[in-house]
A and B are shown apart, each in its own frame.
Chain A
Amino acid sequence: MSATTQADPIGNFLEQDYPAGFVTELETDSVPKGLSEDVIRMISARKGEPGFMLEWRLDAYRRWLTMTAPQWAQVSFPEIDFQDIVYYSAPKSKKDGPQSLDDVDPELLRTFEKLGVPLHERARLAGVAVDAVFDSVSVGTTFKKELGEHGIIFCSFSEAVKEHPELVRKYLGSVVPPGDNFYAALNSAVFSDGSFVFVPKGVKCPMELSTYFRINARDTGQFERTLIIAEEGASVSYLEGCTAPMRDENQLHAAVVELIALDDAKIKYSTVQNWYPGDKDGKGGIYNFVTKRGDCRGARSHISWTQVETGSAITWKYPSVILRGDDSVGDFYSVALSNHRQQADTGTKMIHMGRNTRSTILSKGISAGHGSNAFRGLVRVTPKAEGARNYTQCDSLLIGDRCAAHTFPTIEVRHPSARVEHEATTSRIGEDQLFYAMQRGISAEDAVSMIVNGFCREVFKELPMEFAVEAQKLLGVSLEGSIG
Chain B
Amino acid sequence: MLEINDLKASIDGKAILKGLDLNVKDGEVHAIMGPNGSGKSTLAQVLAGRDTYQVEGGSVSWDGIDLLALPAEERARAGLFLAFQYPVEIPGVSNAYFLKAAVNATRRHRGLPEFDAFDFLARVKAEMQAVGMKEEFLYRSVNEGFSGGEKKRNEMLQMSLLEPKLAILDETDSGLDIDALKIVAEGVNRLRSPERSLIVITHYQRLLDYIVPDQVHVLAKGRIVRSGGRELALELEEHGYGWIGEADAATAAGGPR
A residues whose Cβ falls under 8 Å from a Cβ of B: 1-2, 5, 8, 427, 430-433, 435-444, 446, 450-451, 453-455, 457
B residues less than 8 Å from A442 (CB atoms)? 73, 98, 101-102, 105
Q: A1-B52, A450-B97 are in contact. Are A439 and B82 (CB under 8 A)?
A: yes
Question: Are B93 and A438 neighbours in the complex by a CB distance under 8 Å?
Answer: no
In the bound complex, CA of A431 to CA of B49 (Å): 13
Q: Is B5 an interface residue (CB 8 A)?
A: no
Inter-chain contact A433/B105, CB cutoff 8 Å: no
Chain B residue at minimum C-beta to C-beta distance from A446: B101
Residue in A8, A427, A450 whose beta carbon sits within 8 Å of that of B51 in the complex = A8
Chain B residues with Cβ under 8 A from A443's Cβ? 73, 105
Is A441's CB under 8 angstroms from B162's CB? Answer: yes
C-alpha gap A284/B51 in the complex (Å): 35
When the two chains form the complex, which single residue of B49, B52, B94, B105 contacts A440, counting CB atoms closer than 8 Å? Answer: B105
Cα A457 to Cα B92 with chains together (Å): 8
The 3 A-B residue pairs with the shortest CB-CB distance, nearest first, are: A454-B92, A440-B102, A441-B105
Docked-complex contact B102 and A441, CB < 8 angstroms = yes
* Shortest beta-carbon distance from A238 to chain B in Å: 28
Give the complex CA separation of A431 and B72 in angstroms. Answer: 13
- Chain A at the B interface: mostly helix, strand, loop or mixed? helix
Contacts of A444 in B (CB 8 A): 73
Total A-B contacts with CB atoms under 8 angstroms apart:
79
Contact between B76 and A438, CB atoms less than 8 A apart: yes
Bound together, the chains give a CA A8 to CA B51 distance in angstroms of 10
Can you give 24 contacting A-B residue pairs, CB < 8 Å?
A: A5-B52, A431-B52, A433-B89, A437-B102, A438-B73, A438-B76, A439-B76, A439-B84, A440-B98, A440-B101, A440-B102, A441-B73, A441-B76, A441-B77, A442-B102, A442-B105, A443-B105, A444-B73, A450-B98, A450-B101, A451-B93, A454-B90, A454-B91, A457-B92
Give complex CA distance A454, B106 in Å.
22
- Chain A residues contacting B71 (CB-CB under 8 Å) are 438
Nearest-CB residue, chain A, relative to B73 = A438
Interchain nearest-CB distance for A338 vs B (Å): 19
Q: From A427, which residue of chain B is reached at the shortest CB distance?
A: B91
Q: Does B158 contact A (CB under 8 A)?
A: yes
Report chain A residues within 8 Å CB of B89: 433
Residues of B within 8 A of A427 (CB): 91
Contact pattern, B 11-49, Cβ under 8 Å of A = 1, otherwise 0: 010000000000000000000000000000000000011
The reply to whether B12 and A2 contact each other, CB–CB distance below 8 Å, is yes
Q: Would B102 and A433 count as touching, CB distance under 8 A?
A: no
Cβ contact within 8 Å between A439 and B48? yes
User: How many residues belonging to B are interface residues under a CB distance threshold of 8 Å?
Assistant: 32
Whether A433 lies near B90 (C-beta < 8 A) is: yes
Q: Which residues of A contact B91 (CB under 8 A)?
A: 427, 454-455
Report if B125 contacts A (CB, 8 A). no
A148 and B49 alpha carbons, distance in the complex (Å): 63
Note all chain A residues with C-beta closer than 8 A to B76: 438-441
In the complex, residue of chain A having the shortest beta-carbon distance to the beta carbon of B102: A440
Contacts of A1 in B (CB 8 A): 52
Contacts of A436 in B (CB 8 A): 84, 87-88, 90
Q: How far is the CA of A430 from the CA of B86 in the complex (A)?
A: 14
Question: How many angstroms between the C-alpha atoms of A402 and B91 in the bound complex?
Answer: 22
Given A441-B102, A442-B101, A446-B101: A435 touches B50 (CB 8 Å cut-off) = yes
Q: A442-B101, A442-B102 are in contact. Are A437 and B90 (CB under 8 A)?
A: yes
A450 to B92, CA, bound (A): 9
B7 to chain A: closest CB distance in Å? 19
Contact digits for B185-212, partner A, Cβ 8 Å, 1 yes 0 no: 0000000000000000000000000000
CA distance A443 to B106 in the complex (A): 11
How distant is the Cα of A443 from the Cα of B76 in the complex, in angstroms? Answer: 10
**Whose C-beta in chain A lies nearest to the C-beta of B91?**
A427
Bitwise, B234-246 to A at CB < 8 A (1) or not (0) is 0000000000000
CB distance from A150 to the nearest CB of B (A): 39
Q: Which residues of A contact B158 (CB under 8 A)?
A: 440
What is the bound-complex CA distance between A349 and B82, given in angstroms? 48
Q: Specify which of B90, B102, B105 is in contact with A451 (CB 8 Å cutoff).
A: B90
Interface assignment of B109: CB less than 8 Å from any CB of chain A: yes
Interchain CA distance A432-B48 in the complex, whole Å: 13
**A443 CB → nearest B CB, Å:** 6
**Most chain A beta carbons < 10 A, residue from B72, B89, B102, B109:** B72
| B174 at the A interface (CB under 8 A) | no
Chain A residues with CB under 8 Å of B12's CB are 2
Instruction: Indicate if B227 sits at the interface (CB-CB under 8 A).
Output: no
Contacts of B106 in A (CB 8 A): 441
Name the one of A2, A432, A450 contacting B88, with C-beta atoms under 8 angstroms.
A432
In Å, the complex CA distance between A231 and B158 comes to 55
Q: Which residue of A lies closest to B81 (CB)?
A: A439
Q: How far is the CA of A453 from the CA of B98 in the complex (A)?
A: 12
